[in-house]
Amino acid sequence: MSTTTRHILIIGGGLAGPCLALSLARRNIRSTIFEIRPTRSDMGGSISLGPNALQVLDRYAGVYDQIRAAGFSYHRFGAYADDGEKFGEIAAGEEGKGAEGYPSVRIMRSTLHKRKTSKGVTAYFEDGSNAKGDILIGADGMHSKVRQHVLGSEAPTPTFDGMCIVYGFLPASSAIPPSADFAFPAFMFTPSGVFMTIPIDPEGKTLAWVINQSVEERSRDEWRELERSGEAARLAKADYDDIQTQPVRSLLDNADETKARLWAAYSIPELPKWHKSRVCLIGDAAHGLPPNGGQGSAMAFEDAAILTRLLTSKDTTNYDQLFRQFEAIRRPRIKRLRQLSKASGAAKAKSGRVGWYVKKWAFRAFFAWNRGVLQHAEQPTYDVDQVNLEV
Ligand SMILES: Cc1cc2nc3c(=O)[nH]c(=O)nc-3n(C[C@H](O)[C@H](O)[C@H](O)COP(=O)(O)OP(=O)(O)OC[C@H]3O[C@@H](n4cnc5c(N)ncnc54)[C@H](O)[C@@H]3O)c2cc1C
């Protein structure tokens, strides 16, 4: 274990920052998190954590049991068409199978945050005061300020991905299942895009509904107004007006437009570098992907695990070299996820009636080829403990 790294400053107390801090604390390395928000945010609603994310939260952050107990565990998604036809299922992890041996968990982002930061390693500073540390980790998300420090004029502005995620929550009792054997969670693929519904609590009493809505980019205030006025939900609901299939119809008819939330999707291109001297980026600050793949948090957690391994396996103060190694290990993985996220985005996008006809046949063929169960291409094969650090 490294004896040279005494204190790590972490900018950003979202997902990557606290995961890294907990992971370091369990290995006796002190860190301080600087978070700009004074309180936990409810932005983003609920989040899916796949087996690779849970692996890190278990083996590194040590909070898996609490997270599993607070969220909804599942092993598969049902995949349906707009008329209720079942295409098949999408595997989401299985205990005791593959490298990770974990299910998936859907959990409120704010609950996840509470679990991860309740161990006393987080310090929030509102007054902007300075602290000295050995290294600084930029875990400050998509709109990172640390990225600007690392890249200077090369730092890209996040680009809008042409859609926002509109979502809300309802008691599960307000959803009408289409058949007796229908099981949540489910994706309904439609000409208007994908409609997702998934429980968010251990007993499955509350359902989240989520729609990817194609829209023009707006200013921060305009996004806020689109949400506050209920217009975001009205636009999303209008796209699904002619879909009578359950549970889409009952969920949307029961959804209160003014309570629906939205999240505008932004991403950044591949960065020329993630570090400069003693400063390194992780999570969305380093590689903010569009949300289509549902893997952003897992990538942030994997970053935290690999960085922890590097910091604890080397007795070095040559951080430039260490961060170079971190980048070399993580870049191919992120590149692959970026490709998967693009493919997933295309499958979930609005297609119109003609495009949908073609897509529907493609879905049928794809699921049939995979004998009804689609395996996630990456998840069973990535084990953070098996990753070779000597690249
Ligand atoms: C709608 C939506 C749904 C998603 N669903 C999923 C999903 O189901 N599964 C999944 O794996 N991923 C999902 N993602 C992606 C995932 O949320 C992100 O990849 C993940 O949150 C990245 O973690 P992070 O810690 O890098 O950044 P964040 O979680 O964004 O945290 C960054 C933190 O830094 C703070 N900060 C910002 N600037 C400063 C500053 N100057 N000083 C101090 N603090 C600062 C912010 O307040 C924030 O707390 C989704 C994303 C979106 C937009």
Q: What pLDDT is attached to residue 38?
A: 74
- Residues near 141 by beta carbon (within 8 Å), at least 6 away in sequence: 12, 14, 283, 284, 285, 288
Pocket around ligand 1 at a 6 A CB cut-off: 11-17, 34-37, 44, 47-48, 53, 139-141, 145, 165, 263, 265, 283-285, 291, 294-298, 300
Q: What pLDDT is attached to residue 12?
A: 94
- Are 313 and 389 within 8 A, CB to CB? yes
- Residues near 151 by beta carbon (within 8 Å), at least 6 away in sequence: 271, 272, 273, 276
Nearest C-alpha to atom 27 of ligand 1 is from which residue? Answer: 141
Instruction: List the beta bridge partners of residue 90.
Output: 77, 374
Nearest C-alpha to atom 50 of ligand 1 is from which residue? Answer: 291
Record the tokens describing residue 359, joined without a space.
């897509």
Q: What pLDDT is attached to residue 119?
A: 44
Nearest C-alpha to atom 52 of ligand 1 is from which residue? Answer: 291
Nearest C-alpha to atom 40 of ligand 1 is from which residue? Answer: 36
Nearest C-alpha to atom 23 of ligand 1 is from which residue? Answer: 15
Record the tokens describing residue 228, joined without a space.
């506050």
Measured from the CA of 44, which atom of ligand 1 is nearest?
A: 1
Residues of the chain with pLDDT under 50: 1, 118-126
- Are 2 and 315 within 8 A, CB to CB? yes
Percent of the chain with pLDDT over 90: 68
Measured from the CA of 284, which atom of ligand 1 is nearest?
A: 26
The runs of H, that is alpha helices, within the chain are: 16-25, 51-59, 64-70, 109-117, 146-151, 220-228, 231-239, 248-254, 284-287, 296-313, 319-348, 352-369
Q: What pLDDT is attached to residue 121?
A: 32
Record the tokens describing residue 19, joined without a space.
């995961």
Q: What pLDDT is attached to residue 118?
A: 47
The SS3 call for residue 368 is helix
